[in-house]
Amino acid sequence: MEIDTGTTELLCEVRDGVALITLNRPEARNAMSDKLTPALRSQIRERGEDPDVGAILITGAGTAFCSGGDVKGMGGRGPRGQMTFEERLSDLRWRQAALTGALVAVRKPTVAALPGAAAGAGLAIALACDIRIAARSAFVSTGYAKVGLSGDYGIAWLLTRAVGSARARELMFTAERVDAERCERIGLVNRIVADDKLRDEAFEFAKSLANGPRVALRNMKDNLDDALHIDYATALHREAERLVQASRTEDHKEAVRAFVEKRKPAFVGR
């Protein structure tokens, strides 16, 4: 089912329980824009709440994932350059919360498929997803140091949790280009696939998650998020509550039946 995003710069379809969201400015390496970015914020929110969607897959058209912000609009040349400091600060905080903040908050599995460059805020969007799958020719860069900026969209927080503090500092300070193989070695991406297989393999992966036990997967995300900032005793307490909740679902009962009957479970998402 095709979804009307309000602009051709962002495409969305829901198929087999997967919301496939495609950044569609290939001529600009899918850089964020005043049309693409609001549409992306809306789709993250709407597909995150859509009961027909079990997983979200974000990718880019052409040979890039997302090259980040539009550099031509930086340095006070864009409309935001006319804002006061407080207006600009409030605007950026809202935009961050509504994009990567909302993506991190989605309680469904999220996957980023990188056909090529993911840089700056584009890398932050990829890092805000649970899983990253890269084409062999893909690469990433924090990018901010090259344009004299310190980072936004939560990139320092997200990058530190992906690769650790020392590596995150290196990547932020140098803004170096990191190829797919190194990304996999240091934990920036989960797996690499052939360029011409990326879309199909990423979709099949997202589909397998969408067709999984949705309550259990949501609870897993809660447990994994908690693990970053709570003590072990509290983690045990919360895990127990969520497991008991999952044990009462139809999906758990179906999984037990399927195990006994030696067949693949047919989950229904509740």
Indicate the domain borders of the chain: 2-210, 214-260
All residues at 6 or more sequence positions from 19 whose CB lies less than 8 Å from its CB, including other chains: 3, 12, 13, 43, 47, 50, 53, 55, 56, 57
60 pairs with which residues across the strands?
23
Confidence band of 82 (pLDDT split at 50, 70, 90): confident
> Nearest-5° angle of CA 63, CA 57, CA 175?
50
pLDDT of residue 231: 97
CATH class (in words) of the domain with range 2-210: alpha beta
Q: Which CATH number fits domain 214-260: 3.90.75, 1.10.12, 1.10.287, 2.40.50?
A: 1.10.12
pLDDT of residue 70: 74
Q: Tell me the whole-structure pTM to 2 decimals.
A: 0.94
Could you tell me what percent of the chain has a pLDDT over 70? 96
CA gap 111, 126 in Å, rounded? 8
Percent helix, strand and coil across the chain, each to the nearest 5: 50, 15, 35
